[in-house]
């Protein structure tokens, strides 16, 4: 157990908020006054400190830079109309963080360090949670190997940190999506289910190629047959066919189990839709489209919540959607926003008070 008193707090002398307005700020560009930092050495977590946000001094031989033992999370904090701060489903992210840690042969982060450290940090920087509608404070916990030694082996030391970034409405224009048949994101037995840093670097080339062709993102397909849909960029993906919502199942370990995905499944059921988590082939999607049964396609993730897909390109076949007529995706987005901002009853107890 780490008692709250084991987390030392050193406050910034001056808040950067004096020079910054929190309206319509771009995603991930500004960081709050403080950060949390902790070191793993000799099998235990120590030097747990919340201190002014500042650069790190790192050795060029830092193991993480060479072999990529690095994982992260993405969580959001909101303020309700009365100004009370709460965090959306942080326990789920905590759980997933340690699943990622295990897969990358990294130590587990104790619950008290992750959860109480995050709570204390957000409480200290709660003025950084924008109060405007659709604005939030993005919380980025991360861990990386810290040995100063270029031998290929798991590091013996690690650093765990949390930083906070205020963010404006992450408006995602309806996306044009390229169904990717050459490059893959994840394979069974691989690390697709982990929020491991390398997964994102590995996806950038394919995404850039799709952009050159005029698309916003790729729809990843399964690695063996390029037949079953997986994820859309760094989001989980949903297809509404008739009165059924279908999203790929997680069993093969190739898909990141999103907290927004899980929340969306719950709310879709509340709306009265049937939800199926199962393999879905691009052929079946085309058949449904041609039959006029494919009503909505959208991605889900913490950053944008719900991102509608207006066009899906598979080989020479184009599927186009009239996003403005949709009912389901906008309802889910509104419900999630309302729960987060304290406007809709939080009946699943997703919001954790700071």
Ligand X SMILES: *Cc1c(COP(=O)(O)O)cnc(C)c1O
Residues binding ligand X (CB under 6 A):
74, 195, 231, 234-236, 256, 258-261, 300-302
159 versus 261: smaller Cβ distance to ligand X = 261
Nearer to ligand X, 45 or 238 (CB): 238
User: Helix %, strand %, coil % for the chain, to 5?
Assistant: 25, 30, 40
Least Å distance between CB 329 and ligand X? 15
Tell me how far the alpha carbon of residue 42 is from its chain's centroid.
Answer: 31
How far apart are the C-alpha atoms of 237 and 307, rounded to whole Å?
A: 9
Helix (H) or strand (E) holding 92: helix 90-103
CB of 352 within 8 A of CB of 91? yes
Residue 69 or 199: the one with the smaller Cβ distance to ligand X is 199
Provide, rounded to whole angstroms, the least separation between the CB of residue 260 and ligand X. 3
Q: How far apart are CA 304 and CA 306, in angstroms?
A: 6
Within 16-149, strands assigned E span 34-41, 44-52, 70-72, 75-79, 85-88, 136-145
Q: Which is nearer to ligand X, 195 or 310 (CB)?
A: 195
Q: Which is nearer to ligand X, 256 or 288 (CB)?
A: 256
State the minimum distance, in angstroms, from the CB of residue 57 to ligand X. 29
Closest by CA to 137, choosing from 52, 51, 78, is 78
Continuous segment of H or E residues that includes residue 150: none
Asked if 167 and 28 count as a contact pair (C-beta separation under 8 A), the reply is yes
**Are the CB atoms for 280 and 239 separated by under 8 Å?**
yes
For residue 237, give Cα distances in angstroms to 104, 198, 305.
25, 21, 11
Closest distance to ligand X from the beta carbon of 223 (Å):
14
CB of 203 to ligand X, least distance (A): 8
Minimum CB separation of residue 102 from ligand X in Å reads 17
In this complex, which beta carbon is closest to ligand X, that of residue 107 or of residue 301?
301
Task: Determine the residue with CB nearest ligand X.
Answer: 258
Q: How far apart are CA 119 and CA 172, in angstroms?
A: 29
* Closer residue to ligand X in complex, CB, 140/227: 140
């Amino acid at each position: 157990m780490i008692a709250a008193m084991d987390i030392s707090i050193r406050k910034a002398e001056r808040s950067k908020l004096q020079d910054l307005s929190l309206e319509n700020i771009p995603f991930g560009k500004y960081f709050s006054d403080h950060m949390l930092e902790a070191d793993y050495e000799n099998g235990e977590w120590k030097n747990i400190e919340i201190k002014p946000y500042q650069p790190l001094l790192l050795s060029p031989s830092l193991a993480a830079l060479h072999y990529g033992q690095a994982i992260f999370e993405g969580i959001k904090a909101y303020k309700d109309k009365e100004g009370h701060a709460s965090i959306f489903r942080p326990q789920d992210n905590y759980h997933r963080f340690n699943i990622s840690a295990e897969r990358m042969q990294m130590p587990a982060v104790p619950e008290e360090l992750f959860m109480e450290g995050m709570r204390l940090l957000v409480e200290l920087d709660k003025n950084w949670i924008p109060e405007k509608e659709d604005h939030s404070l993005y919380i980025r916990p991360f861990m990386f190997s810290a040995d100063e030694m270029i031998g290929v082996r798991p590091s013996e030391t690690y650093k765990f940190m949390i930083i906070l970034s205020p963010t404006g409405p992450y408006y995602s224009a309806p996306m044009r999506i390229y169904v990717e048949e050459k490059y893959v994101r994840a394979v069974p037995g691989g690390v697709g289910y982990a929020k491991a840093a390398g997964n994102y670097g590995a996806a950038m080339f394919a995404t850039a190629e799709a952009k050159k062709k005029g698309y916003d993102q790729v729809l990843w397909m399964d690695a063996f047959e390029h037949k079953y849909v997986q994820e859309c960029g760094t989001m989980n993906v949903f297809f509404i066919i008739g009165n059924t919502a279908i999203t790929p199942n997680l069993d093969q370990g190739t898909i990141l189990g999103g907290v927004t995905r899980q929340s969306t499944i719950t709310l879709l059921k509340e709306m009265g839709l049937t939800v199926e988590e199962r393999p879905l082939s691009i052929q079946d999607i085309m058949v449904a489209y041609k039959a006029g049964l494919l009503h909505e396609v959208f991605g889900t993730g913490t950053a944008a919540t719900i991102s509608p897909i207006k066009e899906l390109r598979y080989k020479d076949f184009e599927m186009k959607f009239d996003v403005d007529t949709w009912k389901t995706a906008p309802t889910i987005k509104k419900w999630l926003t309302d729960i987060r901002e304290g406007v809709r009853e939080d009946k699943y107890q997703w919001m954790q008070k700071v």
